[in-house]
């Protein structure tokens, strides 16, 4: 049986690099998740999840998360990522939505909020609260951003 995460931390970051992969790596480091192995998961918040600040996670850990990222090598381009987590009530599951694009953090945030609202409407459950993280970066040479909902045990 695979354990169900009991904690969740929202984080985001952006950075430049000498290559697209290095820019992505630097964005991961800026978000505090650069030394772990990301396991991309779909977007359901487990019941009874505790929202926490991102803790220290040992290097090399296999860590599930829902995330959005974008990398660009177009100087002057604005890029952004956002993640929103919607909650019904403490003992009920919730939904995470992710977005990244060529826009400002405000637009990325608005998009993920609308996506969470639609997900709750589709499921026929009331949306009681939304938590969000977002970031934006104006590309100098090669830039990358990431926003993530990190699921922890």
**DSSP one-letter code for 149:** E
Question: How would you write 102-122 as a 3-class SS string?
Answer: CCCHHHHHHHHHHHHHHHHHH
42 annotated active-site: yes
Backbone angles phi, psi at 55, to 5 degrees: -85, 175
Active site annotation includes 109: no
**Start-to-end CA span in the chain (Å):** 14
Query: Of 12, 72, 81, 98, which one is the catalytic site residue?
Result: 98
User: Taking Cα atoms as reference points, which of 44, 17, 18 lies closest to residue 28?
Assistant: 17
| Selected catalytic residue, list 43, 81, 100, 134 | 43
Question: In the annotation, is 77 catalytic?
Answer: no
Give the residue numbers marked as catalytic: 37, 42-43, 98
């Amino acid at each position: 049986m695979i354990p169900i995460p009991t904690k969740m931390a929202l984080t985001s970051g952006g950075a430049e690099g000498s290559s697209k992969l290095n820019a992505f790596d630097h964005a991961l480091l800026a978000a505090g998740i650069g030394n772990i192995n990301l396991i991309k998961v779909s977007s359901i918040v487990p019941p009874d999840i505790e929202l926490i600040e991102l803790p220290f996670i040992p290097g090399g850990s296999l860590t599930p998360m829902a995330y959005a990222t974008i990398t660009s090598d177009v100087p002057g381009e604005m890029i952004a990522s956002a993640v929103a987590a919607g909650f019904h009530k403490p003992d009920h599951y919730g939904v995470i939505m992710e977005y990244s694009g060529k826009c400002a953090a405000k637009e990325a945030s608005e998009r993920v909020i609308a996506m969470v609202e639609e997900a709750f409407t589709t499921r026929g459950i009331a949306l009681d609260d939304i938590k969000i993280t977002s970031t934006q970066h104006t590309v100098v040479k090669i830039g990358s951003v990431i926003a993530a909902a990190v699921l922890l045990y």
